[in-house]
């Protein structure tokens, strides 16, 4: 199965810039479908980036994060070729993990 | 959901104490459910995300007062045509940043996202949020144990609750 996480991480020597795009409905639990039934809340609660055994960025999300969330940040201390591990968990116990090489 | 509603004021006092203790590296064992970010715990701050009011959410997340600062740069559009996808980013020149959070004042739940910034990560985040209607977006930066904020009004032409 294709990963829900798309990530681009590039190093300019000192700083590594990370952009991630995740496929997820991020349902708020406030919206009704065409039959008038409420679509239950379904959203990512935590998204974690790890590099060289250390958390470099942790996102805690509520329902107000847009569908198919995007996030961008930068960190120091990694070099080209290092692995960046990305994982998320949602409110229904779903999760996904992927690893990207820093380019 | 049936846990007590009574002792809120006291609990907050306790939380503030717990946060202080945690900063000293002594942990906060008796207050494992402490929502305060300052405690640097790994837990998802579920309670703060459920609160409707912005002030309450800030209190639950941080338990501290916030001061506006021009060192926090909040970048958001003047007008968002689609409230479902509003690109918002924040950068700051402050030192020792440990977390950055985003609040949308009149959303059903004010707290939108909260990011932990470990040592070595730059204090800048870009993301996309939903906005129910025209309202203020506030970014809060926690730096060296204090809270700094920047606020900007974003006009929303189509609300974001319909997805």
Q: Which two tokens stand for residue B23?
A: 């900063």
- Delineate the domains of chain B, giving CATH numbers in brackets: 8-158 (2.60.40.2470)
Q: Quick one: tokens of B117?
A: 């910034």
Share of residues in chain A with pLDDT > 70 (%): 99
Q: Which residue of A has its CA nearest to B107?
A: A64
Residues belonging to chain A with any Cβ–Cβ distance to chain B shorter than 8 Å: 15, 27-28, 30-31, 45-46, 54-67, 69-77
Structure confidence by residue, pLDDT tens digits, A17-44:
999 999 999 999 998 889 999 999 999 9
- Which of the residues A39, A62, A75 would you substitute to probe the B interface, choosing the one with the greatest number of B C-beta atoms within 10 Å? A62
Question: In chain A, which residues have their Cβ closer than 8 Å to the Cβ of B125?
Answer: 71-73
Is a pLDDT exceeding 60 seen at residue B66? yes
Per-residue pLDDT for B118 more than 80? yes
- Average pLDDT of every residue of chain A: 94
> Is the Cβ–Cβ distance between A44 and A65 less than 8 Å?
yes
What digits encode the pLDDT tens for the residues B7-61? 455 555 555 554 444 444 444 444 444 445 544 557 899 999 999 999 999 999 9
When divided into structural domains, chain A yields a total of 1
Tally of CA atoms within 13 A in the half-sphere of B11 that contains its CB: 14
CA distances for B36 relative to A8, A50, B138, angstroms: 32, 23, 18
ipTM of this complex prediction, to 2 decimal places: 0.93
Contact B85 A28 (CB under 8 A): no
Sequence-distant contacts of B32-41: CB under 8 A, at least 24 apart: B35/B60, B35/B61, B35/B63, B36/B61, B36/B62, B36/B63, B36/B64, B37/B61, B37/B62, B37/B98, B37/B99, B37/B101, B37/B114, B37/B116, B37/B142, B38/B62, B38/B63, B38/B64, B38/B98, B38/B142, B38/B145, B40/B98, B40/B116
Instruction: State the CATH number of the domain containing residue A75.
Output: 2.60.40.10
Predicted confidence (pLDDT) at residue B158 exceeds the cutoff of 80: no
Comparing CB atoms, the residue among B45, B114, B120 nearest residue A56 is: B120
Contact call for A73 and B125, based on CB within 8 A: yes
Give yes or no for a contact between B159 and B131, defined as CB atoms under 8 angstroms apart: yes
Which residues are registered as beta bridge partners of A71?
Answer: A20, B127
Look at residue B55 and give its three-state secondary structure.
Answer: helix
Predicted TM-score (pTM) of this structure: 0.82
Expressed as residue numbers, the domain containing A76 is 5-101
């Amino acid at each position: 199965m294709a990963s829900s996480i798309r990530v681009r991480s590039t190093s300019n020597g000192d700083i590594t810039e990370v952009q991630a795009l995740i496929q997820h409905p991020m349902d708020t639990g406030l919206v009704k479908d065409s039959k008038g039934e409420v679509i239950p809340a379904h959203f990512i609660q935590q998204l974690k980036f790890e590099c060289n055994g250390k958390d470099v960025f942790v996102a805690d999300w509520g329902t107000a994060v847009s569908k198919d969330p995007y996030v961008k940040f930068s960190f120091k201390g990694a070099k080209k070729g290092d692995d960046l591990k990305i994982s998320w968990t949602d409110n229904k116990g779903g999760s996904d993990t992927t690893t990207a090489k820093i380019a | 959901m049936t846990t007590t509603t009574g002792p809120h004021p006291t609990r907050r006092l306790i939380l503030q104490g717990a946060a202080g203790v945690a900063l000293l590296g002594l942990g906060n064992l008796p207050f494992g459910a402490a929502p305060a970010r300052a405690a640097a715990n790994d837990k998802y701050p579920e309670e703060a995300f459920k609160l409707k009011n912005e002030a309450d959410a800030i209190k639950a997340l941080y338990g501290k007062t916030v001061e506006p600062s021009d060192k926090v740069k909040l970048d958001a559009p003047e007008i968002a045509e689609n409230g479902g996808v509003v690109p918002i980013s924040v950068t700051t020149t402050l030192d020792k940043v440990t977390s950055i959070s985003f609040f949308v004042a009149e959303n059903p739940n004010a707290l939108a996202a909260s990011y932990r910034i470990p040592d070595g990560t730059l204090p800048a985040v870009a993301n996309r949020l939903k906005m129910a209607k025209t309202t203020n977006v506030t970014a809060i930066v926690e730096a060296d144990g204090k809270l700094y904020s920047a606020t900007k009004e974003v006009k929303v032409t189509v609300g974001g609750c319909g997805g």
